[in-house]
A and B are shown apart, each in its own frame.
Chain A
């Protein structure tokens, strides 16, 4: 009995030892890998070939590689908006690894597929889900013309015949990689961006931060933004899937980098990401000067007849939030107000028109430029100009005194600068010259001898003001006999009854 039991024990030990030895010589089982649908460039840049994907799946299974189900892969692609491989970034590769517990992601492209010519070109790339980077790649291509066999024995006829051996040959090295691969367990994230609003502030003004960040597994316990202003914890907003925070800018001028502090788990392990964003504190207003070119200096004043160039000079080069041009009359009426976002142009031309496009009346105007930087600091510069875009009008009248006739010329209308040169030519209706003279000063009374019996004379007149504006009147009929104008009171006809 005891001998039998001893034999039994020895046999059990041998079996255990054998099993131990055998298990040591067996290869470790291959990890499950994720095969993405095969892109097919023969169908366009976004083409997908599911028939071929199936063929790749079969080949991989024949090589002993286990695959994540295609449905799960498709659901992942839809959920993460992976439309083409251009959208499969390293973060998503790592996410695939975490979700499917898989060490490798395999993407493939059918570079060329011609059924008529029976040719095929394939490219594969495998990504390591530990870091999301490509670790293996293979490309190959062939066609029936390249596969001519002796006497045509076993010669492939279709692109499917070509694909099978090609796939086996290309994917064989992947099996080794799948066996050797390990799944990493890391706290990983993808920083999409930290936006600060406003990016330029005055000292002491509030700053708002929005952080977009994606985590592979659990979210961290706390996230804080750190800068010279201190540490500010960010609150998670489920609706926008982002973190938000607010703090006040330091008072001193300068550029302040912002770091992220990610605190994980109960032990609050800290992970720091430096210089994720930055903000600028600007307290001084931007220096602004205005230069006017093409204006005519008249004494202490600047006059404009046709157009002027407005040249703004911003002393500190910094991004501007906006600028405005304002032109105000001497009575305080705003005739031009144009406000724009962004940088101020290097030069502007003002042709004496108001915002509605009409020429403005002669007079004195103040041109002002205002600029705002992104921190809200404002600067202004002004310059007063006298606009005289047309020469003063000349009023002509014939008067009689002591039996003599006089031609009276005087300036009329709104003007700042008078006529400085004029020339008058008075003729009878028959063409006889009665008077021709010129002068520099107005008003003036000029004697002439009218033709007997004629009630009108013809006056031609030329004049020029100080700025060079010219006036010309040709053969204007003037009554010789002084007439009194009487305005009769007229009753207004009304279309609507008074109420």
Chain B
């Protein structure tokens, strides 16, 4: 009886330790109440870069676009078509998409929604005394062009060592690796919330 109790205590401590090691997933998605989440086609606008890393926006943009296409959940408009739309609307690089252009975007690119994203933070950081690992913080907003309303907003932050399983296994040491996983996590979260064409 006493042995069983000791074993239970050890198991509980182990669970506590493991749950602490697992880290937390800083992903938060807020969906507008009553919003129509059936989105079939979408366009991704170039990401904003709030970091000091010069190509962080393009990196995040390409990887997020790639994750959207490979999710098979949306018809994604090509980067070139988005570029042509911006050219036609005389939107200089770095200019944000104003709400007044939502109708034109929906008409010209035949899309239901538009993704506006920004890379809030990125870099290499050493946590818990280990080697330096990359970290990224993203904010991605999805606007419904049919209702001109914000459909959802996702904030997500990850460190490369949060994917570690045991020893070095699972450790992500590249920024693009972290971004790729984060993009998939965001899209999976959207899927859980019913966003998509299915």
Residue pair B59, A112 in contact (C-beta under 8 Å)? yes
Chain B interface residue bracket vs A: 35 or more
- Interface assignment of A120: CB less than 8 Å from any CB of chain B: yes
Question: With A125-B65, A134-B69, A140-B180 given, is the CB distance from A90 to B78 under 8 Å?
Answer: yes
Q: Tell me the A136-174 residues at the B interface (CB within 8 Å).
A: 136-143, 145-146, 148
Residue pair B75, A138 in contact (C-beta under 8 Å)? no
Query: Which residue of the partner chain, among A93, A133, A141, contacts B180 with CB atoms under 8 Å?
Result: A141
- Interface assignment of B121: CB less than 8 Å from any CB of chain A: no
Q: Name A's interface SS.
A: strand
Query: Which residue of the partner chain, among B80, B171, B177, B180, contacts A86 with CB atoms under 8 Å?
Result: B80
Residue pair B80, A90 in contact (C-beta under 8 Å)? yes
- Interface assignment of B176: CB less than 8 Å from any CB of chain A: yes
Chain A interface residue bracket vs B: 35 or more
> How many pairs, one residue from A and one from B, have CB atoms within 8 Å of each other in the complex?
115
> How near does chain A come to B14, taking the closest CB pair, in angstroms?
26
Point out the residues of chain A lying under 8 angstroms from B174, CB to CB. 112, 119-121, 141-143, 146
Point out the residues of chain B lying under 8 angstroms from A137, CB to CB. 65-70
Question: With A121-B175, A143-B173 given, is the CB distance from A134 to B59 under 8 Å?
Answer: no
- Interface assignment of A124: CB less than 8 Å from any CB of chain B: yes
A250 and B12 CA atoms in complex are apart in Å by 85
- Interface assignment of B62: CB less than 8 Å from any CB of chain A: yes
Point out the residues of chain B lying under 8 angstroms from A123, CB to CB. 62-63, 66, 176, 180
- Interface assignment of A89: CB less than 8 Å from any CB of chain B: yes
Residue pair B70, A112 in contact (C-beta under 8 Å)? no
> How near does chain A come to B167, taking the closest CB pair, in angstroms?
9
- Interface assignment of A73: CB less than 8 Å from any CB of chain B: no
Binary CB contact string for chain B from 51 to 79 against chain A (1 if under 8 A, 0 otherwise) = 00011001100110111111000011111
Using a CB–CB cutoff of 8 Å, the interface residues on chain A facing chain B are 41, 44-45, 85-90, 92-93, 109, 111-112, 117, 119-125, 127, 132-143, 145-146, 148, 193
In the assembled complex, 19 residue pairs joining A and B whose CB atoms fall closer than 8 Å, in A order, are A41-B62, A85-B79, A89-B78, A123-B63, A123-B180, A125-B69, A134-B76, A134-B78, A137-B69, A139-B62, A139-B70, A139-B176, A139-B180, A140-B177, A140-B180, A142-B174, A143-B177, A146-B173, A146-B177
Q: Which 4 A-B pairs have the closest CB atoms?
A: A121-B176, A89-B80, A137-B69, A141-B177
